[in-house]
Structure 1
Amino acid sequence: MKNQEGIELRDATLDESLRFDCLVNSRYHEDREAHYSRIHRFLMFFIVVSGAAAISQVLESVPYAAETSTAMAAVAGLIDLVFGVSEKAKQHAMLRWRVLSILADLEAKEVDVQTLRHKLAAIFADEPPTMYTVQALAENGAIRAMGMDQRKLYKISAWRKALRHWIRFEVKMPDHA
């Protein structure tokens, strides 16, 4: 479709659909990045506190205190290393950055929507398995941000929100309630 000046117009529906998908995806990765960053910071704090020589000296009178705090520091370091907590945070940060760059291109209206949708699909291919409750919360955020019909919001229990990063909940969230 072209306007009066003969300039090709983009389909607003396609724009909004892509904008929604980008908002959902960026919110998803923001939540996951924050989760892994919190864990990493906690583990690093725990390692420093547990491994500090001052703690060993203060606790000399407590049997096995130095050995226990040293072992706990080693275990926390192993958890961070084996599970790649900081790497996972960086991965989600990079995925979010890629999605936000697509959103910026969409706002500039200089790139074909189908090209941008193709770029977004390429990002999907690089993503780890979806945590469905995190996804549903991201969709709720995008629905609110875009002023869409609030009846489309997922209803998510408090326990499911609390466990969203720890349990995948294999079955996808039900249709919007």
Structure 2
Amino acid sequence: MTHSIGLCGIDGDRQLRPQEGRAIYYPQPPFSADLTPTIWQKAAGDTPERLYLGCLVMAPDADGAGAVELVADGYRRQPVARVNLNATFEANSSTVLIELPEGAGNVRHVGLFDEANVLRFYGRILHAHQSDRPTKVFEFPAFKLRLKKLPSQNTVGLRPTLGGTPRPRGC
């Protein structure tokens, strides 16, 4: 027997109408996100020195194409300083804050853009708190924006070989 469950709130990128008597809840800061490289980042190989955090109202497809960025008065992308977190991720080294004059309830993803406005990384916003009012502040504390490195950028630790004996990277 299958059951049909009615949903209110968020279903992917679509905002569903609340059921009678129920409210829609919006994510609240502080936020975190695990960011995946786009096809443009994979093709380029190296991560640009300067990246800028932007809010996305529509997530891109698996290759990173088709993303729709937030359009709002007072909205501006914010620079992200990065540090090496571990063999798999880089992370923001300080808090990144985007403040808006009005709440933006339709933002569910973030992206990192280079200086040429190319989306390099993207990911879903993760949160622990909710409210019935859209947030005006998108705050990502230090080390909460994690950028997945490409395999060629994983340079920490030993590298396995077909011969079975690991060698230091770079050999």
Q: What TM-score, normalized by structure 1, do the two folds share?
A: 0.21
Q: Which one has the largest radius of gyration?
A: 1
Greater helix content: 1
Greater strand content: 2
Q: What TM-score, normalized by structure 2, do the two folds share?
A: 0.22
